């Protein structure tokens, strides 16, 4: 499954990232909608959920995220909806880890 989130805030460290494999962090923006896929091995084998997916969160709850590989690139987002059939676009798509 996938979860759509709207970014609420992010640290300035994301824009400073210039390593080739991590340049995607430069393109994160407040107010953008991102799509995050829950796939093994991030999925809990008992619950079939990914940690941090905001399962029980309502749309007003602010949730925290952190980029893998750069713990200083972090921020907040709000869950918009969960999609059972993923159709994440090629840009602004991520996976839980």
Is residue 59 a contact partner of residue 81, using CB atoms and an 8 Å limit? no
At residue 92, the pLDDT reads 62
Q: What CA–CA distance (Å, rounded) separates 16 from 31?
A: 19
On the question of pLDDT at 10 being above 80, the answer is yes
Residue 69, C-beta contacts closer than 8 angstroms, at least 6 positions apart: 19, 21, 22
Q: What CA–CA distance (Å, rounded) separates 97 from 81?
A: 19
Is residue 8 a contact partner of residue 80, using CB atoms and an 8 Å limit? no
On the question of pLDDT at 90 being above 90, the answer is no
Q: What CA–CA distance (Å, rounded) separates 61 from 52?
A: 12
Residue 43, C-beta contacts closer than 8 angstroms, at least 6 positions apart: 49, 50, 96
- pLDDT per residue over 21-50, tens digit each? 888 888 899 999 999 999 888 999 999 999
């Amino acid at each position: 499954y996938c979860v759509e989130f709207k970014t609420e805030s992010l640290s300035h460290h994301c824009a400073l990232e210039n390593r080739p494999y991590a340049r995607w962090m430069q393109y994160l923006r407040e107010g953008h909608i991102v799509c995050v896929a829950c796939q093994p091995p991030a999925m809990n084998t008992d619950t079939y959920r990914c940690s941090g997916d905001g399962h029980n969160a309502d749309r007003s709850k602010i949730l925290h995220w952190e980029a893998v590989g750069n713990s200083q690139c972090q921020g907040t987002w709000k869950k918009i909806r969960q999609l059972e059939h993923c159709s994440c676009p090629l840009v602004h798509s991520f996976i839980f880890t």
